[in-house]
Amino acid sequence: YLKISKLALAFAIIHSKPPGKSSKEYTEYLAKTVSEQDFGWKWKVEVLEAEVLRLRQELLLNRISPRFCLENRKQDTSAETLLGQEPVNPVTYSSQLEDSGCDVCNDSAFDSLGIASDFHQSEHNVNTSKHWLERVPPLNFCHSSKEQSLTAPVHFLQRLLEIRKLSEGGILQADFSELENDSFTICSSVSQLLDGLTIFYNSPKFPSPSFLTEGVNVFISLITDTKLSNHVLKKCFKKMEEFKKNLIQIILRNRSVNRFQALNTVSEMLGLLGRNNILRNSLISLLLSEVRQFAEQLLQAHQVQSVYDITQYENMFLLCMILEQLLQNETEESNISSSDYGGEEKIKFLKNLDQIILHLSDEFPLFSLYLWRVSVLLNSGPMQ
């Protein structure tokens, strides 16, 4: 039947082809036409899916706090205005400095790894509902470029955070148990945000666009909020784990000559993720695994005098710096022995580490020093 159908189609094409065109040219023309029609339908489906998600977001916000949605409709703030404004709590990326990106010795490169207050110091007390509501943009899906991958979920999550602040100040009544009843909406919104961040981290622009900085601010505020973080982490934990793995691979695989400017920005994002108690342990395990595997590969290459990947070697120092900072923060802030985290990856990392350092110390002294410093932090006791 299939052969007969193909033969019938071939005869139909030959019979209907216009004068001056060969059968092959006409077939290619028909294939292109059908392909364009398929693309048009896919685009329409994406638009409709975005509209459905927007309506679900509006419905969820209305269920959480009907008064907020009623008053917010009276505001004139638009998505276009938002994109032209500076973020409320801007992140000062070291990657936005004036150099070409070749210098990785800047002391500010990892300042944000140890400062959780960057996203909280500028918060002030809630005085009136009008003051807060004027800052919240309406949900808007009018952007068709890559910006939409960030602006659409950011607007929804911003409004969710504003409801949280207003309810904490006693201005609004809010029922956040509704988040348990609509896991699809919150998961889809967070997934869109993380996918959008990944897109921009893969193809960075400098200086970073304001909506990228705003997306980072919203995400960090979301996972550090005492009430909302539990809902988000519980429903989107796998997506966040995937996001962390993607960021690590972006660091390891980047082979651009002037890559350090972009990689410092990604490193800062990983450090900020590590400020969350739930995400920190899994991030430490991921970093320990990557550093251990590379150390073993480097030792094997050194022993047989084979070529090793010099670019990955250079990029690995960023992971070592993040790992060291996270371990220091864990020990200093939590006053807990580092033996309480790391689990199986910690055991694998420390196994035969002394032998690895011994064999690599002459040829790779800096990398060996980082391995030793990480091992000291892993074996350290609680801070007194």
pLDDT in tens, 142-174: 444 566 668 889 999 999 999 888 888 888 888
Instruction: Name the average pLDDT for the chain.
Output: 77
- What token pair was written down for 276? 């969350």
> In 3-state terms, what secondary structure has residue 101?
coil
131-153 as b/e: b if 16+ CB within 10 A: ebbeebbebbeebeebbbbbbbb
Going by pLDDT thresholds of 50, 70 and 90, the confidence category of residue 264 is confident
Give the tens place of pLDDT for each residue, 46-102: 888 888 998 999 999 998 888 776 666 555 444 334 334 443 443 443 334 334 444
* pLDDT above 80 for 115: no
- Give how far Cα 306 sits from Cα of 198, 230, 291, 296, 328, Å: 34, 48, 19, 13, 35
Over residues 356-375, mean pLDDT: 94
DSSP assignment letter at 115: -
Closest CA to 174 of 183, 189, 192, 162: 162
Taking each helix axis as running N to C, give the angle between helix 353-360 and helix 365-379, from 0 to 180 degrees, rounded to the nearest 10: 160
Report d(CA 283, CA 280) in Å as an integer.
5
For residues 126, 128, 134, 136, the Cα torsion angle rounded to the nearest 10 degrees is 40
pLDDT in tens, 11-33: 888 888 888 888 888 888 888 88
- First vs last C-alpha separation in the chain: 81
CA distances from 369 to 245, 301, 322 (A): 25, 19, 15
Q: Which of 362, 359, 341, 355 is nearest to 377 (CA)?
A: 341
What average pLDDT does range 108-114 have in this prediction?
39
> What's the pLDDT score for residue 206?
63
Residue 292 backbone dihedrals phi, psi, to 5 degrees? -65, -45
Instruction: Evaluate whether 56 touches 184 at the Cβ level (below 8 Å).
Output: yes
